[in-house]
Amino acid sequence: MNLKGIKKKISRADRDWTPYMRRALELAAESVEKGDIPIGAVLVNVDGKIVAQAHNERELRHDPTAHAEVLALRQAGAGEKAWRMTGMTLVVTLEPCVMCAGALSLARVDRIVYGAADPKAGATGSLYKIHEDKRLNHQIELVSGVLEAECRELLVSFFRKKRLEADEKKKRP
* 28 touches Zn ion by CB under 5 A: no
| Residue 103 burial class via C-beta count within 10 angstroms: exposed 0-12, middle 13-18, buried 19 and up | buried
* 55 touches Zn ion by CB under 5 A: no
Nearest approach in angstroms of CB 69 to Zn ion is 6
Q: Is 33 a catalytic residue?
A: no
Report yes or no: 21 and 151 within 8 Å, Cβ to Cβ: yes
Give the C-alpha separation, 8 to 42, whole Å. Answer: 21
Strand order in the sheet with 89-94: 50-55, 40-44, 89-94, 111-116, 141-144
* 58 touches Zn ion by CB under 5 A: no
Nearest approach in angstroms of CB 40 to Zn ion is 12
* 103 touches Zn ion by CB under 5 A: no
Of 32, 159, 42, nearest to 93 by C-alpha is: 42
Element (H, E) at 51: strand 50-55
Q: Smaller CB distance to Zn ion: residue 71 or 97?
A: 97
Q: Segment contacting Zn ion (CB under 5 A): 2-10, 15-23, 41-49, 95-103?
A: 95-103
Nearest approach in angstroms of CB 154 to Zn ion is 16
Of 110, 107, 108, 116, nearest to 142 by C-alpha is: 110
* 24 touches Zn ion by CB under 5 A: no
- One of 42, 97, 113, 116 touching Zn ion (CB under 5 A): 97
**Active-site residue numbers?**
69
Q: Which residues bind Zn ion (CB under 5 A)?
A: 67, 97, 100
